[in-house]
Structure 1
Amino acid sequence: MKKIYLILSVAMLACIVPGYAQKTLSEEYIIQEKDTLWDISDSKFQDPFLWPKLWNVNPHINNPDLIYPGVKIIIPSREELMQQITPPTVATEKIKLPLRKEMLPTTESVSTTVGKTEKLPAEKHKKYLIDKNLYLSLGWISDKFPGIGKIVSTPSGREITGKDDIVYVEVSPAKILSGTGQPSLIIARDESSKSHYLIIRDIKTVKHPVSGYKVGHLIRVAGVLEIIGTDSGTSKARILRSFEDIQVGDGLIPYKETDPPVAPESARTPKIQGHIIESLFTKELSAEGDIVFIDKGQNDGLQAGDVLSVFSGSPVEKVIGNVQIVSLQPTTSAALIIKSDGEIISGLKLGQKE
């Protein structure tokens, strides 16, 4: 009888171990057409915001915005991925940002008229502050909801849709956006962009965590669609990109392709004081790699790439992290947490250590 139990135990273990190993081991993946690290992180880890860690384990990818079909990458297990370190430690004085491989100048041979060969520096590749998809999905805080249209229905009657789905929309181009509600970085102004729209959602009313006054509406970008025709007099559109579930009732604003801000070689550390007022996904606790909104903007002298320190609350105020400005509005900004040594929550003070 003991032998039978032993045999059964070994058999059960043999069934369990391979399954466990599959979940914990890395795998190879061949890049397909239209793949992005954002999409791969979303499909493999159900979290597109893990793309910087995925990039970190594939150092042969010089530019995360330029990955080509046929390139082989390593996709680690989620446990291995979470052990990866994202952006480096940042000082609070003048910050020298590290140069990735794509930013380093290279040389090429150039023949001269006298037959000599000179080494000339090649043009540097642009290094953006954040991934293009993340930049597009950031959203902003607006005085009013700036939509000029909305998704009204779907052919199937579903309320939730995604990439490549067909939806019906209503658009009122004559609707005027308020000066404070207009996201100037993404409003289309050229003929080629007229059929493309950002899909936006009014997430919540943001109140200042310290003073209590109303800051505005948190607007998040859920995706991008293109109007492709009409169906019985109703405009029909195809969803080109989806950053989260897209819902009937979501708003629309005109869209123009825009690059993220270019990363400075040395980040400014302006002596501007403010507060964290909200997080992109309204989480109570934020950490390294998350996006937060702050109560200072262009009108206060901030620029994209500026770095501010995050201070803990009372009784002992100390630096517990750093944020870098990645998108600006007149009175608010979106910032990426590039370092966190503690719990980062709304209401924490920002500035520079004296």
Structure 2
Amino acid sequence: MIKKSIGLLAGMLVTVAVYAAGAQLRADHPDTYTVRRGDTLWDISAKFLSKPWLWPEIWQANPQVRNPHLIYPGDVLNLSFINGPRLKLEPSAHREGEAVPAIPLDQLRMFLKDMRVMDSNEVSAAPYVVGFEEARLRGAVGQNLYVRGLKSAPGQRWAIVRPTHVYRGFEQDDPNDAENGIVGHELDTNVAMVRTPWAEDFRGDGHYGRGEDLGVEVSVIGTAETLREGDPSTLLLLDATQEIRAGDRVLPLDGPAYDPYYYPHAPQSVPANARVIAFADAMDAAGPRQVVALSIGAKDGVDNGQTYAMFQPGERIHDDVASNSWSRGSGEKVTLPEEFVGHVMVFRTFDRVSYGLVMDGLRPVHRGDRLAMPE
């Protein structure tokens, strides 16, 4: 990933003159900016670039910026107009703290380490919690859990996970079909997890229980350590963010690796069925700095750092003016133009689904919002 990113940045150098001509500069950009603790590269770039995701091209024009991520609190960004607009970085004499990240990684730890999308059969076949000490209905920190199907030596640690969404594909064999796409169904966590092994939360969208099963999102809700081997095995619950239930799955503690750095860039193309399909940390709508699930993944050419614009479908209204009628709602139906919502940047990619962070927005993000090129 790092080699690929370096190659990408090298290729961008040929376009620096174009961007430096001022097309990407905000009219109200500051002359200088001193980097502060808590800043992100996206937020800083948004202060002087009309397209914040293009900051690697601009900053790479400065010879002293060997790595555009290694910018620290106290550094001064100076936008001068010598031979045209040019951004210059003046490192502080005493650099302090960690380098400023591209996006707020501290807010994404759970999605980078504790959330993953897995094959449904793999989740179903994983070892599972079957009971608790003293015949309790739920497990709490410091108590013993009994797990079936686990082969583990004493002292080994495990992640306790719970399925949260199931992703289903429709008409995937026909890219021209109007229903081609992926939807995310919430899983009903109020139902005992032993129900086959979970129950989808039916929202009446007509897709319940149908479609190709493309994967299950699971969330790490605790960690446990093996005390005794056997079937069931005995595990001690070390920590948990929720009460542990019968049916929760047991998986290896370390999940897939994730990128420490992100290079924002526009995709080469956008699949026609690219949509927002689920919320990771919201109910009915999401906003800036919240995580959404997208209906495209690695198999669609998606990689981390890709930035998309989101558009909300136009509403269907009645044209009562043209109908010449006093009765409201009697006119022909007209679809209004779609509305720009904001930008989303991909930070975690799976085969058919990706996680994206909403970077900015003019209105709330909803399920079904369309993805497009960021321009």
Q: Fold conserved (TM > 0.5)?
A: yes
- Of the candidates 228, 236, 247, which is equivalent to residue 238 of structure 1? 236
- TM-superposed CA distance for 1:134, in Å, is 3.7
Matching residue's letter, 1:196: R
Classify 1:235/1:125 alpha carbon distance in 2 versus 1 (closer, same or farther; 3 Å).
Answer: farther
Looking at structure 2, the residues matched to 329 and 193 of structure 1 have their Cα atoms a distance apart, in angstroms, of 32
Partner of 1:228: 226
Partner of 2:339: 318
Matching residue's letter, 1:158: R
Partner of 1:149: 127
Matched residue pairs, number? 245
- TM-superposed CA distance for 1:171, in Å, is 3.1
Partner of 1:96: 55
Quick one: percent identity of the two aligned structures?
Answer: 12
Looking at structure 1, the residues matched to 255 and 167 of structure 2 have their Cα atoms a distance apart, in angstroms, of 28
Q: Which SS does the other structure have where 2:254 is aligned?
A: coil
Partner of 1:196: 157
- TM-superposed CA distance for 1:121, in Å, is 9.3
User: What RMSD in Å do the two structures reach over aligned CA positions?
Assistant: 4.3
Classify 1:275/1:267 alpha carbon distance in 2 versus 1 (closer, same or farther; 3 Å).
Answer: same
Q: Do 1:223 and 1:239's aligned partners in 2 also have CA atoms closer than 8 Å?
A: no
Q: Is 1:347 the counterpart of 2:361 in the alignment? A: no
- TM-superposed CA distance for 1:311, in Å, is 0.9
Partner of 2:321: none
Q: Do 1:225 and 1:237's aligned partners in 2 also have CA atoms closer than 8 Å?
A: no
Looking at structure 1, the residues matched to 364 and 159 of structure 2 have their Cα atoms a distance apart, in angstroms, of 33
- Of the candidates 254, 258, 266, which is equivalent to residue 252 of structure 2? 254
- Of the candidates 124, 132, 136, which is equivalent to residue 158 of structure 1? 136
Partner of 1:137: 114
Mark the runs of 5 or more structure 2 residues left unpaired by the alignment. Answer: 1-35, 60-66, 76-92, 171-178, 181-206, 315-335
Give the TM-score of the pair, scaled to structure 1. Answer: 0.55
- Of the candidates 213, 216, 219, which is equivalent to residue 214 of structure 2? 216
What does residue range 53-68 of structure 1 map to in structure 2 within 5 Å?
none
Classify 1:278/1:150 alpha carbon distance in 2 versus 1 (closer, same or farther; 3 Å).
Answer: same
Q: Is 1:329 the counterpart of 2:336 in the alignment? A: no
Partner of 2:174: none
- TM-superposed CA distance for 1:329, in Å, is 0.9
Q: Do 1:105 and 1:122's aligned partners in 2 also have CA atoms closer than 8 Å?
A: yes
Mark the runs of 5 or more structure 1 residues left unpaired by the alignment. Answer: 1-58, 64-85, 108-118, 174-190
Partner of 1:304: 304
- TM-superposed CA distance for 1:205, in Å, is 3.6
